[in-house]
Structure 1
């Protein structure tokens, strides 16, 4: 598995890179955001382990750039800030997982492996359609009534789960597990924020229904 480790603490980066290579991973290292963007522009990684607190171009900016460009890697953000709000902020940027420092090395390895499996997993049907909404899951392109929709990775994920449900109710827990991080609690606002933004971008008439005490459906 090809992994990019972006960490400005040189000694820590070296130790982690050596350990991950010992796990059979092919690891490249960047110590700042600019170098991370150079490496991702030149190569495709399965997982990017991204420190949020980087000099120069921040980890947040790197994450936004990768997500907005459709870069296919799964992103695991690392940070010294471990509050729930910090976790939600990182995931709202488009990261796939979030790990607060200090962390257990074995947990880091487990999460990278889990993200790597998701990166290579076969997807559902290539094109999903319902109520005038069309989602090409292979190219990650969405439209409503032939109008292109500029959606983030998380918004695309929510839309995909709702379309796959084919009118059925999708719970907040299911959205967290399939689009975000199974370690998050249902009380997080990440799902609510993403659904709000997705509703706004889908436009009128409204398509996403909130089912009180249960979840959402299209």
Structure 2
């Protein structure tokens, strides 16, 4: 498989690259965070291996930029920083795994294999579509048949949740928990109000209604509603 390796120390980079190549991998090497961002966002890789302590643009900052660009390739951070807070920061910054220097080559190879076996996450989906309705998750833009649709934040959250569960019945409880983070029913018509406004924006005259009310259960989003 193809791997991107960011390491500013030439000796260390050569050692890691040779070990990966000996294990049958193809390695693209770079010594700067800027080059890593460019390669990761323009190339196809199975795993990213990024040294955190790189001058100018460090590995973690580079990884954040890569994630912001929508790249979800599994990433392993290499670092001499072994504090718990450092590891947490790395994982929250977009890393999938964290390996502290010095490390055994066998462990590095094993971690790379494990990362490469992970199935794509739901976040690898960047565009949701139901019929002629499209939600670009990276740009946070919504359009239907070429018509731009502007939604309020909560309306967009509802729509995204419905589109991710198209064809399924989405209950009131599910919306309260996943859109409003409420684990109780406030006893108001907040959902109904938002749903009414959402429907008025995505359903115009002559367009097929995409959101169906399932009486006594909730809502369902489908490409066509009978």
Q: TM-score, normalised by structure 1?
A: 0.59
1:109 aligns with 2:109: yes
User: Counterparts of 1:22 and 1:3 in 2: how far apart (Å)?
Assistant: 13
Partner of 1:67: 67
Question: How does 1:39-58 map onto structure 2 within 5 Å?
Answer: 39-58=39-58
Partner of 2:79: 79
Contact (CA 8 Å) 2:41, 2:69: kept in 1 or not?
no
Q: Supply the RMSD in Å over aligned alpha carbons.
A: 3.0
Secondary structure of the corresponding residue to residue 81 of structure 1: coil
Secondary structure of the residue that 2:103 maps to in structure 1?
coil
Deviations 1:26-48 (A, max 9, x none): 11101110111222233111111
TM-superposed deviation, 1:146: 3.8
Structure 1 residue 123: Cα displacement: 6.0
Q: Is the 8 A contact 2:47 2:76 kept in 1?
A: yes
Deviation at 1:55, TM superposition (A): 1.3
Change beyond 3 A, Cα 1:81–1:94: same
Q: Deviations over 1:121-174 (max 9, x none)?
A: 3667xxxxxxxxxxx76337499754159xxxxxxxxxx9xxxxx99xxxxxxx
Give distance in 1, aligned partners of 2:38 and 2:14.
19
Q: For 2:36 and 2:24, how far apart are their aligned partners in 1? A: 21
**TM-score, structure 2 normalization:** 0.57
How far the C-alpha of 1:10 sits from its partner, in A, is: 0.4
Structure 2: gaps of 5 or more residues:
128-136, 141-152, 159-163, 165-169, 172-176, 185-226
Residue 156 of structure 2 is matched in structure 1 by 147
Whether 1:206 aligns to 2:215 is: no
8 Å Cα contact 2:60/2:90 also seen in 1: yes
Q: 1:139 to 1:42 in 2, by over 3 A?
A: closer
Query: Where do 4+ consecutive residues of structure 1 move more than 3 Å?
Result: 140-146
Q: Which has the higher contact order (CA 8 A, sep 6+)?
A: 1
| Conservation of the 8 A alpha-carbon contact between 1:49 and 1:78 | yes
Q: How many residues align?
A: 147
State whether residues 6 and 49 of structure 2, in contact with CA within 8 Å, keep that contact through their aligned partners in structure 1.
yes
Please list every run of 5 or more consecutive structure 1 residues that lacks an aligned counterpart in the other structure: 125-135, 150-159, 161-165, 168-198, 210-218
Structure 2 counterpart of 1:21: 21
